[in-house]
Amino acid sequence: MKKILFLGIIIVLCVVIPSFYFLVSPQLQPTPILSNKRPVVGVVLQKDGKHGTYVVYSNYVKALEGSGAKVVPVWINENESYYQSIISSINGLVFPGGSADLLDPTDIGGAGQILFDLAAKLNDEGVHFPILGVCQGFQLLATASARQKVLISCNGTIKDNLPVKFIEDPHQSYLFKSAPPQVVEILRNEAITPNIHSLCVTRGNLNRLGLITEWRVLSIDYTKNGLEYVTSMEHTRYPFAGVQFHPEKSIYDLSENSKYVSNYTAVFANRWFYDWLVMEARMNGNTFSNISVNDRIIDRYCPELITSKYGTVLNYYFNSTLNSTVKRVDGWDEQVSVRELKDNSNVNEKN
Ligand SMILES: *[C@@H]1O[C@H](CO)[C@@H](O)[C@H](O)[C@H]1NC(C)=O
Ligand SMILES: *[C@@H]1O[C@H](CO)[C@@H](O)[C@H](O)[C@H]1NC(C)=O
Ligand SMILES: *[C@@H]1O[C@H](CO)[C@@H](O)[C@H](O)[C@H]1NC(C)=O
Ligand SMILES: *[C@@H]1O[C@H](CO)[C@@H](O)[C@H](O)[C@H]1NC(C)=O
Ligand SMILES: *[C@@H]1O[C@H](CO)[C@@H](O)[C@H](O)[C@H]1NC(C)=O
Ligand SMILES: *[C@@H]1O[C@H](CO)[C@@H](O)[C@H](O)[C@H]1NC(C)=O
């Protein structure tokens, strides 16, 4: 009798109460397995007419590194086997901002389409592979999923620091559900997201192209003429998210008279988007199979400080792709670097 009572208590404690807990906590999310401690994120190149053949803006690199990732450049205009190989070696991707023709197959749009399809396939196969699209990169996410022109003119360049006008509860969204609550409140209430663009993605166009079920629009805004456009969205099945604004510009703009807001709250809230991407990338276990990440890392190249009418920027320029040897960091010696890395890892383990 005592045994049965004891068993009964055990069952109530271990089975009934926890089941009840799960029943009343439908929002409970499984704890993500953030097992990848040093994720590697690819940033896709784009053509650059003026200074070299291809460019990566260092803002994106710095933002990713600040959130804990290593960064590798992903070349454009390469063949399918290159993209297959690179996407199974890295843990996430950023489609950056810029001013490319997204329908030019030899520019970032062509590479973006292949990478988008491969990333979708990986996710379908159960490999968690995230993408963050920023400004042009956000527009690229829409264009790649439509496989045709999506963008319309905003009828004038939008150049403003804006609050985020949420149309969905951000706390229920994939992009913001694990954000600190203050991040959402700052984004909602303070004019701190840097916006500079003259092309727009609209709900009308997403709807017309049958994409409104594929993308959940999280926020919108309006042009001076009253045109409604999308400012953030996330994919309904994959860990892909895009923002029309430039979170990294609030932190890394180098212009003397920067128009962006870099105060405490602006920096705190704008960091979230890269933190999100890198956190998602930590759930991916891809690795370079037979070379060191540091053989592909962007730190091998030397960025240049450029001042133009767009302000002061630090950019990585490349004249060729896969075997590019231009502008490597002075004094980088492959043999030495490998030895130093080994030595450092020993030191770290001892400490
Ligand atoms: C690329 O080539 C051009 C023309 O040869 C040269 O002026 C420029 O410095 C090169 N850029 C890089 C990053 O090597
Ligand atoms: C793809 O490109 C790489 C390097 O550019 C080359 O080594 C490889 O042979 C190419 N593969 C195909 C199938 O063309
Ligand atoms: C942009 O402006 C032109 C001319 O003013 C107008 O015909 C067009 O409808 C506008 N487009 C949008 C999307 O507002
Ligand atoms: C930062 O700037 C924004 C926009 O001007 C403002 O709303 C906010 O109060 C500022 N935050 C701080 C901490 O000064
Ligand atoms: C690394 O692996 C890839 C794919 O398995 C192969 O194509 C390539 O030749 C290998 N490279 C080296 C340096 O072994
Ligand atoms: C890159 O360099 C390797 C070794 O030097 C060579 O086999 C390969 O063909 C080169 N690839 C390209 C795209 O030039």
Q: What residue segments make up the domains of the chain, in order of their start?
A: 40-295
Q: Is the CB of 335 under 6 A from ligand 6?
A: no
Type of residue found at 241? A
171 is catalytic: no
What are the distances in angstroms from CA 124 to CA 84, 117, 119, 175, 203? 15, 11, 9, 19, 26
Contact 129, 239 (CB under 8 A): yes
Q: From the alpha carbon of 291, which atom of ligand 5 is closest? A: 13
Q: Which residues pair with 235 in a beta bridge?
A: 215
What's the CA-to-centroid distance between 290 and ligand 5, angstroms? 6
| Cβ neighbours of residue 144 closer than 8 Å, sequence gap 6 or more | 109, 112, 113, 116, 117
pLDDT value of residue 205: 97
Q: Is the CB of 217 under 6 A from ligand 4?
A: no
Q: How far apart are CA 19 and CA 219, in angstroms?
A: 36
Is the pLDDT at 343 greater than 70? The verdict is no
Q: Beta-carbon neighbour count of residue 324 at 10 Å?
A: 18
Question: HEC profile for the chain?
Answer: CHHHHHHHHHHHHHHHHHHHHHHHCCCCCCCCCCCCCCCEEEEECEECCCCCCEEEEHHHHHHHHHCCCEEEEECCCCCHHHHHHHHCCCCEEEECCCCCCCCCCCCHHHHHHHHHHHHHHHHHCCCCCCEEEECHHHHHHHHHHHCCCCCEEEEEEEEEEECCEECCCHHHCCCCCCCCHHHHHHHHHCCCEEEEEEEECCHHHHHHCCCCCCEEEEEEEECCCCCEEEEEEEECCCCEEEECCCCCHHHHCCCCCCCCCCCHHHHHHHCHHHHHHHHHHCCCCCCCCCCCHHHCCHHHECCEEEEECCEEEEEEEECCCCCCCCCECCCCCHHHHHHHHHHHHHHHHHC
Nearest to 248 by CA among 262, 229, 259: 262
Is 40-295 assigned to CATH 3.40.50.880? yes
Is the pLDDT at 165 greater than 70? The verdict is yes
What's the CA-to-centroid distance between 250 and ligand 4, angstroms? 12
Q: From the alpha carbon of 200, which atom of ligand 3 is closest? A: 13
Q: From the alpha carbon of 154, which atom of ligand 3 is closest? A: 13
pLDDT value of residue 332: 41
The one catalytic residue in 128, 171, 246, 302 is 246
The pLDDT confidence band at residue 346, using thresholds 50, 70 and 90, is very low
Question: What value does the mean pLDDT take over residues 275-298?
Answer: 93
246 is catalytic: yes
Counting ligand 4 atoms within 8 A of each CB, the residue from 187, 188, 193, 261 with the most, and so the one to mutate, is 261
What's the CA-to-centroid distance between 86 and ligand 6, angstroms? 16
Tell me the whole-structure pTM to 2 decimals: 0.82
Residues 132-146: tens digit of each pLDDT: 999 999 999 999 999
Residues 45-66: tens digit of each pLDDT: 999 877 668 999 999 999 999 9
Is the pLDDT at 330 greater than 80? The verdict is no
pLDDT value of residue 173: 97
| Cβ neighbours of residue 260 closer than 8 Å, sequence gap 6 or more | 161, 194, 249, 250, 253, 266
Exposure string over 278-306, b if 16+ CB within 10 A, otherwise e: bbbbbbbebebeeeeebebebbbbebeeb
pLDDT value of residue 6: 63
Tokens representing 83 are 């993209």
Q: How far apart are CA 139 and CA 146, in angstroms?
A: 11
Average pLDDT, the chain: 86
Q: Is the CB of 81 under 6 A from ligand 5?
A: no
Tokens representing 12 are 């109530």
Nearest to 220 by CA among 233, 210, 239: 233
